[in-house]
Every structure is written in structure tokens, then in C-alpha cells.
Amino acid sequence: MARKKHLEKISDMADQDLRLRALGFFAVGIWHALMRLVLEHGHDGRLAFGQGRMPSLSDIARIRFDMSEAEFITQLITQSKSELLYWDAASETVGWPAELMPDARTLANRANGKKGGRPPKNANPSPQNDPRQRTAMMPIAGGKSMSEGLLPETQIETASRVASLASNNSLKDKAKLDACAVSDEQIDHAYRRIGPVAFETAGFDPARDMGNYGIARQWAADALRSGLNADEAERLILGVVESLAERKRSKGQAISHMGYFTKAIGKAIVDRDVPEAPMNEAEIEADRAWKRDMDTWRERAASGAFNDPIPNRAEYLARAREAA
């Protein structure tokens, strides 16, 4: 079932992703074959050439793709620059892009499964949970009750243990806690930006509908505490609301309450599915220049000029922002 789902996601991305379509049909075919290769022989979206029973990169290029090693590497570099796949030249590891990677919960479940999973209930019960011990006498020395003897000692030990753990937090853990510390003022500011727009985007009329968008404050809090800034939180939340609302409208259906979006927004926050910020005129022109230079580079690569540097879209956009 999982394999079928992955195959569907790969095919959908090959049909719909504009970055991929811009590279041409030849590149689409290579990308599709690579993604299936990772599915068939890789693990958790990654595949290392030349390790275990996996043939070397040059053998894969020749046998599976009928290409030279240099041509194959050029395709890997080109597609990784556009974030269509993962490529690490040092370890010769190829992998799925972020859109196809399993979510964090799936990876954690797999890791736990390798350790044997959750132990069977009462497989090796402690004495107090062992049915054979339920009629045994459990003497308490000195005749003290639990409340008089054991409970205070347990409470003291727990308190000291918590203090010890707190004092031994690593700098890295403290940095994570600091990054997640978001004030109520920051949350309220983001909520005031996001709530009304999300309410209208969902299809509600502020003047007539009795519902409210109070749930948007929790969305904003979750997004900010995950490390997103206010702009990223706004783009993520409104992007999810707009997408789901449009899907409902296309089916002739209406959304009855704002809580409808909560699950999808939570998943988008975990997946860091933040839409790109709208580009200004300078960035749009830089993006067009990058596409023109990419077309030129592909033409030269097709004629054998593989050593030309590959135009990097991020660098074009960065120069446009610096000049603005």
C-alpha cells in the first residue's frame, strides 16, 4: 500500500511540478526513473551508489540510463540545484526531494520498529502487576503507612532529580528552548494579521456569519513556536486555508467552521511547507534571466560543454535583492 502511494506521488510530481517541466521531457524521464530507483533499492528516501549490493554510479549511469558518468552527474547536479532531488557528491548519495520524503512521525516509527517496537503488555510483569502476586502479603517495615514513610522520600527524590536534569541541560537544548520562546504580544500581532484574512479566505462573511476565527490564534502560536517568523506563519496558514477552501468550493461544498483547517495546518507546520514569498519586479526579472541562462546552459551541455558553471537561481534572486 505504501509503495503504491509513493508511486502515485512520484507520478503526480512528474506531471505537475513546473520546475521539472522547465527542464524538458528528457530530464523528466531521468528524474522519474531516479525516484523509482530510490523507492526500489533505497531506504527512507535515500540511496548510496556502490554500497552493499548497489552498483556503482558509473554502472547505474550506463546500465539503467544509457549515459556516461559525466552526463549522469550533470543531470544530478542540475536537478539538485532546483531542489528536485537530493544529491551528495561526496558520498554519491541520491534521494527524494522534500515533497516526497516521509514525515518526521513516519521516520520515528520506523526507527522504533528497528528497536523492536513497543514491548508486549505484561510480557515480563513487575511484582505489583503480576497476577500471581496479588494474594501475597507485602509487609511494610516498622508498621509505617505509605503516606508516612515512602511518599515524602519519593517526592524529595523527584524534586532533586528534576533540578539535576534542569542544571545539566546542554547549550544546544537551551538554544532550542530559547528559539521556541514566543511572547503573547508576538502571537497576538500575528493573530491580528492572519485571523480576519483566513476567515474571509475560508468563505465566511465577517458581517453576516456567526462563526469566529479565534482558532487562528492557536495556529499562529504553533507556527511561531516551531521557529517560523510572522511572515512565514502567515503564508503557510493562508496557503493551507486557500487550498482547502478552493477544493471544497470546486465540489460545491461549504466549510462550516474554522476548525476544519486545523489538522492540515498542523501537518504543514511539521513539514515546514511554507510557500515562497511573492517576488517583486526586480526578483521577477532576475528569475527570467536565470531561466534564459539555464536554457543556454542546457543547449551547451547537449553539445558537450559539461564544464560550464550551472546558473544558480538563488544567486540571481540574491543579487536582485541586494540591488533593490
pLDDT for the residue 244 = 92
Same domain, 193 and 250: yes
Rounded CA-CA distance 94/139 in Å is 63
Tell me which of 45, 69, 95 is where a domain ends.
95
pTM comes to: 0.40
Tell me which of 61, 76, 95 is where a domain ends.
95
Rounded CA-CA distance 324/279 in Å is 12
Same domain, 242 and 313: no
Q: Please, which pLDDT band fits residue 191 given cuts at 50, 70 and 90? A: very high
In a domain, 59, yes or no: yes
pLDDT for the residue 170 = 43
The lowest-confidence range among 161-170, 205-214, 280-289, 313-322 is 161-170
The lowest-confidence range among 91-105, 163-177, 197-211 is 163-177
In a domain, 51, yes or no: yes
Q: Please, which pLDDT band fits residue 20 given cuts at 50, 70 and 90? A: confident
pLDDT for the residue 116 = 54
pLDDT for the residue 124 = 57
Number of domains in the chain: 3
Same domain, 285 and 228: no
pLDDT for the residue 220 = 93
Between 156 and 235, whose confidence is greater? 235
Same domain, 68 and 43: yes
* CATH, residue 43: 1.10.10
Q: Could you tell me the residue range of the domain that residue 77 belongs to?
A: 2-95
Q: Is 41 exposed, middle or buried (0-12, 13-18, 19+ CB in 10 A)?
A: middle
In a domain, 315, yes or no: yes
Same domain, 251 and 194: yes
pLDDT for the residue 118 = 57
pLDDT for the residue 9 = 86
69-81 and 25-41 helices, crossing angle to 10°: 90
In a domain, 190, yes or no: yes
Tell me which of 271, 292, 308 is where a domain ends.
271
pLDDT for the residue 178 = 45
Same domain, 252 and 304: no
Kindly report the average pLDDT of the chain as a whole number.
Answer: 77
Instruction: Give yes or no for residue 320 having a pLDDT over 80.
Output: yes
Residue type, 185: E
In a domain, 31, yes or no: yes
Tell me what the mean pLDDT of segment 256-266 comes to. Answer: 91
Q: Quick one: residue 144, left, alpha or beta (phi over 0 = left, psi -120 to 50 = alpha)? A: beta
pLDDT for the residue 160 = 43
Same domain, 262 and 303: no
In a domain, 142, yes or no: no
Same domain, 234 and 266: yes
Same domain, 91 and 14: yes
Same domain, 258 and 289: no
314 contacts 290 by C-beta, under 8 angstroms: no
Q: Please, which pLDDT band fits residue 224 given cuts at 50, 70 and 90? A: very high
Range among 17-31, 170-184, 229-243 rated most confident: 229-243
In a domain, 72, yes or no: yes
In a domain, 319, yes or no: yes
Between 179 and 309, whose confidence is greater? 309
pLDDT for the residue 107 = 56
Instruction: Give yes or no for residue 49 having a pLDDT over 50.
Output: yes
- pLDDT of 123-172, one tens digit each? 555 555 555 555 545 555 555 444 444 444 444 444 444 444 444 444 44
Same domain, 304 and 235: no
pLDDT for the residue 172 = 43
Same domain, 30 and 83: yes
Q: Please, which pLDDT band fits residue 22 given cuts at 50, 70 and 90? A: confident
Rounded CA-CA distance 50/249 in Å is 50
